[in-house]
C-alpha cells in the first residue's frame, strides 16, 4: 500500500490536510486512523457532549501523572480516538485565538504565522453564520468547509451574564472572533443544522468520495526513516504489522500527546531518553515532548432562585424528550452545546490583551457530566489563558501500545496562583451585579466560606480541571533553534519528507479553545506541502483596549 502523502490521524488538522491535499486530484493520499466510526447520537448530538469524551470507544483514555501542585491528582486528558479525532468529542466551542497570540508565534521564530498571515486562512476555513445576531462580517469567512454558528441564547441567564459583565465595567463584544476579542458577548460553536460540525463532517467525509483519498484503520507504530528520509509508516491492525509507503511525505497529525510519542518511537527526540528505551536515535531533537501547555479552569457555581436552568431537564424523562426531538428534527436542547455566552477579559492593568476566558452555562454541572448539581444553578468555567507553567510528554516504554507519560506541571509558578485567585474573585464580582439579582441564590462552589488566599488555594488544588487544550510538544521555530522540532513550514528539522501538523507545533498556547487554530494548522500546512504561495497577508488591525496600561477594564 502506498500513496504520495500519508497522514497519521484524522483529527482537526489531519482531516483538513486530507481534504486539501486530495482536492485537485493530482495526488494520492492515505489517512491512517486508529479510531472507529463517529456515527451515532452521542457524537453527532451537540447536547450530548459530555458522553463521548468519557467513552473508551471514542477516547484514548489518557491521564496525567500525579500533579505535584494539585494534591497529586491525576487529571483526565481525553483525546479523540475516532474519525474526526478530538473534534468529534470536544465541546464544539469555536475560538480563533487573539491576534497577538499569532504575532507572538512569529516573534518566537514561526515566520509566516503572524496574525496578518493566518487571518486569510481562518477566513478560508470558515462558513460563518451569526443567525442574524450581529457580528463582524468583514473579519469572517463565508464559504469554507467549517460551519460556525451561534446558539439562540433563549435562556435569560445568557443575557444576564453579558449584562453583568458590562455592569462590572468590562467591555462588550459583538464578535470575539472578529476585530475585538475583549469583552462579554455571544459564544460561537461548530454546530450546523443541529449537528456537531466536526473536522470529519466538514472536511474528511466529503473528501473521501474522491478516488485519490483512502482511509486506513490501524495503529501507527512508527515512522519509517531510511537514509535520513521518511519513507512510510509502520502500522498494526488485527495483530498484523505492515508498512504504508509514502512517495512524497509523511505528515504526523496525531495530537499533542501522540505526535511527540510517535516521533520518539521513530528515533526523533532527546537522544538520552530514547536510549533509555533501547531506541536508536535518528535525530537528537531535545524539544520533542517538551513545552507542554494547557488551560486549567474552575467551575464557579451559583444556585438559581428561579426554576429556569437546564436542571429541569436533568432527569430520564427530560433527557429522553430532548433526545427524541433531536433525533426527529435536529432541534431543541440537543442541538446546542449550551455554551452560548462567553467573555474574554484582562487580569490586571499592564496586560495588553485578554488572558482570562469564561464559558457561561445555565446549569451547575461538571464538563464530564458528573456531579450534577442538586438544585437549579448556573456557572462560569473560568481560567487563565497564558500560564507560565510548562510540562512534558515522555515515553513509558518502547511499546507503541503503551500510553506516554504526561506531566503538565500545572500551577508550578507563583503567577499561576495569583492569576487563579483573581479568576475566582472577579467571577464572584460579576455574579454579584444587579443583572443577576432576580436569579442569584447561595454560592455552590467554591462556597462563600472560601475567602482567604489560603482557602482559595486549597479549593484550586482540589478542584481545578483541565480545559483539555494540550499543545506545544513539537514546537515550531527557526531551523537553527535547538529546542524547535519543526520549521515554519512544519518540516521536522533534521529529517526529509516528514512534517508534524497539529496543536503540538504551537510555540505558545492561544487564547481560548484550540479546535479552530488546530484546523488552521492543517489548512496552512497543506499549502506548504503543495508548494503553493501562501495566501496574501491581511492588513486588518485588531482592537486593543486603549486603557490596557492603566486598568483591567
- From the list 339, 357, 338, the residue with the least C-alpha distance to 347 is 357
* Residue 285: alpha-carbon gap to chain centroid: 25
Which of 100, 463, 469, 483 is an active site residue? 469
Cell numbers describing residue 369 = 457530566
Per the annotation, binding residues are 4-33, 82, 90-93
| CA atoms of 442 and 439, how far apart (whole Å) | 10
Q: Count the Cβ atoms, other than its own, within 10 Å of residue 538.
A: 17
- From the list 295, 46, 51, the residue with the least C-alpha distance to 150 is 46
List CB contacts of 266: < 8 A, sequence separation 6 or more: 222, 223, 224, 225, 282
Active site residue 147: no
Instruction: Please state the φ and ψ torsions of residue 52, each to the nearest 5 degrees.
Output: -60, -35
* Residue 303: alpha-carbon gap to chain centroid: 29
Cβ(232)–Cβ(128) below 8 Å: no
| CA atoms of 407 and 293, how far apart (whole Å) | 10
Per the annotation, binding residues for FAD are 4-33, 82, 90-93
Q: β-strands 296-304, 465-466: how paired? A: antiparallel
- From the list 102, 60, 105, 97, the residue with the least C-alpha distance to 80 is 60
* Residue that the C-alpha cell 510548562 belongs to: 390
* Length of the chain counted residue by residue: 553
Eight-class DSSP state of 393: E
Prior bond of 446 cis (ω within 30°) = yes
Find the helix or strand (DSSP H, E) in which 344 lies: strand 341-345
The catalytic site residues sit at 469
Amino acid at each position: 500500500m502506498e500513496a504520495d502523502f500519508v497522514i497519521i490521524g484524522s483529527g482537526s488538522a489531519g482531516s483538513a490536510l486530507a481534504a486539501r491535499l486530495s482536492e485537485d486530484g493530482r495526488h494520492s493520499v492515505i489517512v491512517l486512523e486508529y479510531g472507529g466510526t463517529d456515527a451515532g447520537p452521542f457524537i453527532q448530538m451537540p447536547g450530548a457532549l459530555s458522553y463521548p469524551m468519557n467513552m473508551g470507544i471514542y477516547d484514548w483514555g489518557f491521564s496525567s501523572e500525579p500533579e505535584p501542585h494539585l494534591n497529586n491528582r491525576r487529571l483526565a486528558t481525553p483525546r479523540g480516538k475516532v474519525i474526526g479525532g478530538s473534534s468529534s468529542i470536544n465541546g464544539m466551542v469555536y475560538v480563533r485565538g487573539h491576534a497577538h497570540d499569532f504575532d507572538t508565534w512569529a516573534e518566537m521564530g514561526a515566520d509566516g504565522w503572524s496574525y496578518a498571515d493566518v487571518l486569510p486562512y481562518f477566513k478560508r476555513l470558515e462558513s460563518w453564520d451569526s443567525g442574524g445576531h450581529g457580528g463582524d462580517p468583514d473579519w469572517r469567512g463565508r464559504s469554507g468547509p467549517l460551519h460556525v454558528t451561534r446558539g439562540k441564547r433563549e435562556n435569560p441567564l445568557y443575557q444576564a451574564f453579558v449584562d453583568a459583565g458590562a455592569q462590572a465595567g468590562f467591555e462588550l463584544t459583538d464578535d470575539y472572533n472578529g476585530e475585538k476579542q475583549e469583552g462579554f458577548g455571544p459564544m460561537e460553536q461548530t454546530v450546523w443544522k443541529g449537528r456537531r460540525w466536526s473536522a470529519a463532517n466538514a472536511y474528511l467525509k466529503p473528501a473521501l468520495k474522491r478516488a485519490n483519498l483512502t482511509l486506513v484503520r490501524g495503529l501507527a507504530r512508527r515512522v519509517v526513516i531510511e537514509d535520513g528520509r521518511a519513507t512510510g509508516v509502520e502500522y498494526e491492525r488485527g495483530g498484523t504489522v505492515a508498512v504504508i509507503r509514502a512517495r512524497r511525505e509523511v505528515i504526523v497529525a496525531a495530537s499533542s500527546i501522540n505526535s511527540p510519542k510517535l516521533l520518539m518511537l521513530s528515533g526523533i527526540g532527546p537522544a538520552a531518553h530514547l536510549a533509555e528505551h533501547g531506541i536508536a536515535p535518528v535525530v537528537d531533537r531535545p524539544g520533542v515532548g517538551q513545552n507542554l501547555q494547557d488551560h486549567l479552569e474552575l467551575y464557579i457555581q451559583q444556585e438559581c432562585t428561579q426554576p429556569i436552568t437546564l436542571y429541569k431537564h436533568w432527569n430520564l424523562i427530560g433527557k429522553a424528550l430532548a433526545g427524541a426531538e433531536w433525533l426527529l428534527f435536529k432541534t431543541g436542547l440537543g442541538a446546542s452545546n449550551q455554551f452560548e455566552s462567553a467573555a474574554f477579559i484582562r487580569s490586571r492593568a499592564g496586560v495588553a490583551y485578554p488572558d482570562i476566558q469564561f464559558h457561561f452555562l445555565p446549569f451547575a454541572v461538571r464538563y464530564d457530566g458528573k456531579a450534577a448539581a442538586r438544585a437549579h444553578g448556573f456557572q462560569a468555567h473560568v481560567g487563565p489563558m497564558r500560564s507560565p507553567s510548562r510540562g512534558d510528554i515522555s515515553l513509558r516504554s518502547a511499546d507503541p501500545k503503551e500510553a506516554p507519560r504526561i506531566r503538565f506541571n500545572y500551577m508550578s509558578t507563583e503567577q499561576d496562583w495569583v492569576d487563579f485567585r483573581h479568576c475566582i474573585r472577579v467571577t464572584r464580582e460579576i455574579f454579584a451585579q444587579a443583572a443577576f439579582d432576580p436569579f442569584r441564590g447561595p454560592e455552590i462552589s467554591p462556597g462563600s466560606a472560601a475567602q482567604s488566599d489560603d482557602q482559595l488555594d486549597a479549593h484550586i488544588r482540589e478542584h481545578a480541571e483541565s480545559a483539555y487544550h494540550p499543545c506545544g510538544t513539537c514546537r515550531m521555530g527557526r531551523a537553527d533553534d535547538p529546542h524547535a522540532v519543526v520549521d515554519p513550514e512544519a518540516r521536522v528539522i533534521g529529517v526529509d519528507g516528514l512534517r508534524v501538523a497539529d496543536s503540538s507545533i504551537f510555540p505558545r498556547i492561544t487564547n481560548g479553545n484550540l479546535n479552530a487554530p488546530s484546523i488552521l494548522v492543517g489548512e496552512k500546512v497543506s499549502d506548504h506541502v503543495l508548494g503553493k504561495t501562501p495566501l496574501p497577508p491581511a492588513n486588518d488591525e485588531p482592537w486593543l483596549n486603549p486603557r490596557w496600561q492603566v486598568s483591567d477594564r
